[in-house]
Structure 1
Amino acid sequence: MHYAELKQAWSELTAPGQPFEIEEIEVRGNTIRNFKHAPPNIRAVWLSTVAFADRDYLVYDDERITYGQAHTRVNAIAAWLWAEGVRPGDRVAIAMRNYPEWMLLYWACVCIGVAAVGMNAWWVTEELEYALKDSSPKVVFCDEERLARILERPAMAEGARLVVTRMEGPPEGVLPFSEVLVRGGDMPDVQVDPDADACIFYTSGTTGFPKGAQLTHRGCVANLMNMGFSGQVQGLATLRANGIDPASVPAPNPPVALLTTPLFHVTANNCGAYAVTAGGGKMVLMYKWDAGEALRLIEKEKVSAMSGVPVMSREVLTHPDFATTDTSSLLSLGGGGAQLQPDLVAKIDKEVATARPNTGYGMTETCGIITSIAADFFVDKPESCGPAMPTFEARCVDDDGQTVPPGHVGELWVKGAPVIKGYLNRPDATAESITNGWLHTGDVARIDEDGFIFIVDRKKDMVLRGGENVYCAEVEATAYRHPAVAECCVFGVPDDRLGEEVGAAVLLRPGHTLTADELRAHCAALAARHKAPRYVWFLDEAIPRNASGKFLKRALRESLKVEDAG
């Protein structure tokens, strides 16, 4: 394999004077790695795309928006926000599906130093209320579905201006998005601090409340450059290993990406949307995931990359229409948000003639990717997620925070420019997760002799369902709100399609009755539906615990059978 060539290419691309030169700087009292020649903020990234004015940018159903049209609309949104008194340091919430407006609003916010707060569109009213009160946005941009939830409890958006998109005749006091655009205007001239909050994305909390991760401009730009570096370094190493002169290879066409996951996640936004936009490419959006529709769009729009969770790639390959669909435009296929199973890596490499498998491992707390791996390297090490990108230091530690020897297993800690500032209004959670700039990923890993990282387990107690983190404590807290539940222990159950499903072992209170469907309906009414347990076991005796009183989840997983679940 090409590991010697990879090491050489890595050294060359990050050397002094090169585009990916690394420097050490001090941020928030910690010395971190950063790209010396990075754009100062996301505003600079977006403004640079005005050069692509005539190209298609956003495609949604029959709608097509060019870069020139997008800049006109982004300028109008930014001018409207400024006229409304929204200033750097303020927050604006975006609560909607993956409509084109999502991206236009995002760029407008970051260009004037305002934090874009991504609201999880799957949230029920109670969850939406928590996040809106926590983030206190000056303006809430929403679609009709999210507006209905807000109007159930209007106090959740108290003090915020409500703007709704794609709704005829909105209720009194709610401004239609068209009125924001019709005013027009120029982009305000604003100096944006690299370490200001660019966006706030919520992650599920082990206490039952989501945490607002504060992603900075510096972190988001570093993530964009890490992705660009990954493609260049692995491509350069592969060309050289195969005796091909890199100078003889023509420049690639602008990317065409099909975004299949929600823009309130870093997978779609910071990784998918950023990369396409910076490269002057075309972004194809979907109303909701459907493998057959994805195949139709791949053929129609000549999609070169599909961004999503791994199960989506698997569903595309196994769809009845796959064999009769022209997928020859695809150059990469894979996913993030969950690990690609080794068999899927091989299937992608074999069944899509033009595409190579790729993946990245990362977190909301790192503004996107920590590692990246693709093509020959991924085929050679299908169980790895790749090496840590240049702006990261990475180490595996034991329970005392001491670094374990190379090749040994420990919790993965990372440090660098992409690590978040912290959690909004949660200094306790920030202190628990970040030590002297080192982020505790919660993932148990090992690092091999080539610097490639292998995730082997999760230290955090969560279920990874189709790329969505579902924290067990959050589901347990919801279940306990049912009067019939005496004890509840939630854990992950392996699932071929989604990776894991939510399972719950339940002990009922004496004299109470409850069915699995009733418990699921109860949970779905209080939290997003995907958090409701798919499998429910009702026990006749207390759930086994260890000496400290914690449930023995491993024992439960081993003793309970899926066929016995309700």
Structure 2
Amino acid sequence: MYQHLKEAWDQLTAEGQPFEVTTAEVGGVAIRTYCHAPPSLREIWLASAAHGAADYLVYQDERLSYAGAHEIVASVATWLQQQGVRPGDRVAIAMRNYPEWMLAYWAVTAMGAVAVGMNAWWVESEMQFALEDSAPKVLICDRERLQRFAAIRENFPELVVAAVRMEDAVPDWVCEWMDVVNTPGSLPEALIDPEDDACIFYTSGTTGRPKGARLTHRGCVNNVLNVAFSTAVQTQALVLAGEAEPADPEAPPETLVSLLATPLFHVTGNNCVAHATTVAGGCMVHMYKWDPEEALALIERERVTVFNAVPMMAREILMHPDFERRDTSSLKTLGGGGAALQPDLVEKIDQLTANARPNTGYGMTETCGIIAAVSSVFFSNKPASVGPAMPTFEAQCVGPTGEALPPGEIGELWVRGAPVIKGYLNRPEATAESITEGWLHTGDIAYLDEDGFIFLVDRAKDMVLRGGENVYCAEVENALFSHDSVAECVVFAVADDRLGEEVGAAVYLNEDASASADQLRAHCAGLLAPFKVPRYLWFLDDPLPRNANGKFLKRELREHLDVGDAQ
């Protein structure tokens, strides 16, 4: 099977083929990049005009075609130009996943300006920090974010503000979205270099202030081609193995319908879902906020074919009481990124869905999207893996003294290639700490197997060091998740006078399920070495807290849970 994957890989990346790989010198470093990649996101947006009357953006009872979207994007870009925005200038976007987010984004990037993705969960002080850090000329926001900005507006007297979806009177210092989109004009001409900034997305900021990652046009374009390659190579491998029929060149392509469940101010939602859907001429279904019941209704109504979010969202869909009564047969892939899918979830997707195959993509803000991806039988066969690094990456696991480790040995994963960011905005020291001669230090502990598949073990900073033994939180979480009663869990280090650190776990059980601490420990003891079994267990009455992208707030839990309350 893996020989067929290698054969398909070599075919698709060969000279003259769509995914041919070459090298380019960036900052004195030779990096891998696709030979036929468009130079910028502008070309990707212009090419999507060919999809014409096809549905592009769906939100509740609103539907917008590609042709309609192109008209609006041209008007928004013209309005931005009238406000003094030029190539290289920054425009901040602060709103929920409304269709206007994508329309503003394409207007900004296609005219050569830089989109600054503002976290919609930020409070006033966090918003102020990002605006001061990125210094945009224009802020485009929704009503909720406008209310927060109003409290700090005096600090930004020159900032032009436009607002969408206003439900009440609009302040006289705000331009309404309707006036923006009614601006006559065509998309301004722009010469964009592949190494120009396309967007700035802020990292989660688990410690201190978030860092503004500078994603380039080259990085974003290579990412969307990596997303396409991951599908193409695994499909071709199955054909070569005789497990799938070759595509009929005369048959019309199946329409891709994506359910957008993660925020557009992160690379998962924007670079992986939105970019890929746009390139494919697909339809993107927006949600006001994440709700598994609503997600199931939308999958049925819109005949959604692809759902890529974070693993807990896929788990919540499968475990929801409505899952059995909703028609989810349109789904072809179900999975996510942002964290590895636990092996039990891979099995559940295979068992519980009619046509969907499990898939995952592993990546970071600092790589403009995915580093690796895997799906179908390759994922089912190696459910603990996130797949091989995509063609435009070199990948290596590095030991404590910086030496590259052989396959099977655990170290920090470093990657180098076109999708790696230019650096962090206004943070040269942080850039130097994270990127060495083009190699990005991911901060993830991993190993590579003989087929080049990446196996994530843990985040370097999340490891539990118990009496000199490394305990990888992800491994313990996988064991807990395999218990039928566990709906959600996170594992973390708890300070211990004797051993330095002990294993702690916060657990939220499925509705109507019951499991004692001793039962969960006994379950883990059958799967893990004794020193990995959680000593401290907290049973929570409510679901675990999450950030805007759906990831559990492990640090917040660790800081607020009292050891005296553990079982």
Q: Which residue of 1 aligns with 2:242?
A: 242
Q: Which residue of 1 aligns with 2:430?
A: 429
Structure 1 CA distance for aligned equivalents of residues 13 and 561 of structure 2: 57
Q: Which residue of 2 aligns with 1:484?
A: none
Q: What SS does the corresponding residue of 2:144 show, helix, strand or coil? A: helix
Indicate conservation of the 8 Å contact 2:212/2:425, yes or no. Answer: yes
Q: Which runs of 5+ in 1 are unaligned?
A: 473-488, 499-523, 540-559
> Aligned-pair RMSD on alpha carbons?
2.7
CA 1:245–1:444: 2 relative to 1, 3 Å: same
Structure 2 CA distance for aligned equivalents of residues 71 and 77 of structure 1: 10
Indicate conservation of the 8 Å contact 2:206/2:555, yes or no. Answer: no
**AA at the equivalent of 2:240:** R
Matches within 5 A, 1:122-521: 122-167=121-166, 168-205=168-205, 207-242=207-242, 244-248=244-248, 250=251, 252-460=253-461, 493-495=505-507
**AA at the equivalent of 1:229:** F
Indicate conservation of the 8 Å contact 2:83/2:160, yes or no. Answer: no
* Structure 1 residue 69 corresponds to structure 2 residue 72: no
**TM-score scaled by structure 2?**
0.83
CA 1:277–1:98: 2 relative to 1, 3 Å: same
Q: What SS does the corresponding residue of 1:43 show, helix, strand or coil? A: helix
**AA at the equivalent of 2:181:** L
CA 1:8–1:532: 2 relative to 1, 3 Å: closer
Which region of structure 1 is more displaced relative to structure 2, 369-378 or 244-253?
244-253
Structure 1 CA distance for aligned equivalents of residues 204 and 181 of structure 2: 34
Structure 2 CA distance for aligned equivalents of residues 181 and 232 of structure 1: 37
Q: What SS does the corresponding residue of 2:359 show, helix, strand or coil? A: strand
Indicate conservation of the 8 Å contact 2:136/2:159, yes or no. Answer: yes
**AA at the equivalent of 2:267:** V
Indicate conservation of the 8 Å contact 2:256/2:280, yes or no. Answer: yes
Structure 1 CA distance for aligned equivalents of residues 239 and 552 of structure 2: 47
> Deviation of residue 205 (structure 1)?
3.3
Q: What SS does the corresponding residue of 1:12 show, helix, strand or coil? A: helix
Matches within 5 A, 1:69-108: 69-108=68-107
Q: What SS does the corresponding residue of 2:378 show, helix, strand or coil? A: helix
**AA at the equivalent of 2:54:** R
Structure 2 CA distance for aligned equivalents of residues 321 and 493 of structure 1: 29
Q: What SS does the corresponding residue of 2:149 show, helix, strand or coil? A: helix
Q: Which residue of 1 aligns with 2:56?
A: 57
> Deviation of residue 339 (structure 1)?
1.2
Structure 1 CA distance for aligned equivalents of residues 73 and 141 of structure 2: 16
**TM-score scaled by structure 1?**
0.84
Indicate conservation of the 8 Å contact 1:311/1:497, yes or no. Answer: no
> Deviation of residue 495 (structure 1)?
4.3
Structure 2 CA distance for aligned equivalents of residues 147 and 248 of structure 1: 50
**AA at the equivalent of 1:4:** Q
CA 1:393–1:536: 2 relative to 1, 3 Å: closer
Indicate conservation of the 8 Å contact 1:150/1:156, yes or no. Answer: no
**AA at the equivalent of 2:201:** F
> Deviation of residue 34 (structure 1)?
0.3
CA 1:374–1:244: 2 relative to 1, 3 Å: closer
> Deviation of residue 493 (structure 1)?
4.2
1:28-71 residue CA offsets vs partner (Å, 9 max, x unmatched):
21100000001111000000011111001000011111101100
> Deviation of residue 407 (structure 1)?
1.1
Q: What SS does the corresponding residue of 1:128 show, helix, strand or coil? A: helix
Q: Give me the identity figure in percent.
A: 56
Structure 1 CA distance for aligned equivalents of residues 456 and 182 of structure 2: 50
Q: Which runs of 5+ in 2 are unaligned?
A: 464-472, 478-489, 493-500, 511-546
Indicate conservation of the 8 Å contact 1:200/1:215, yes or no. Answer: yes
> Deviation of residue 242 (structure 1)?
2.2
**AA at the equivalent of 2:103:** L
Q: What SS does the corresponding residue of 2:139 show, helix, strand or coil? A: strand
Structure 2 CA distance for aligned equivalents of residues 497 and 147 of structure 1: 38
> Deviation of residue 457 (structure 1)?
1.3
Structure 2 CA distance for aligned equivalents of residues 429 and 531 of structure 1: 23
**AA at the equivalent of 2:280:** G
1:197-219 residue CA offsets vs partner (Å, 9 max, x unmatched):
00000003355100000000000
**AA at the equivalent of 1:395:** Q
Indicate conservation of the 8 Å contact 1:73/1:184, yes or no. Answer: no
CA 1:490–1:208: 2 relative to 1, 3 Å: farther
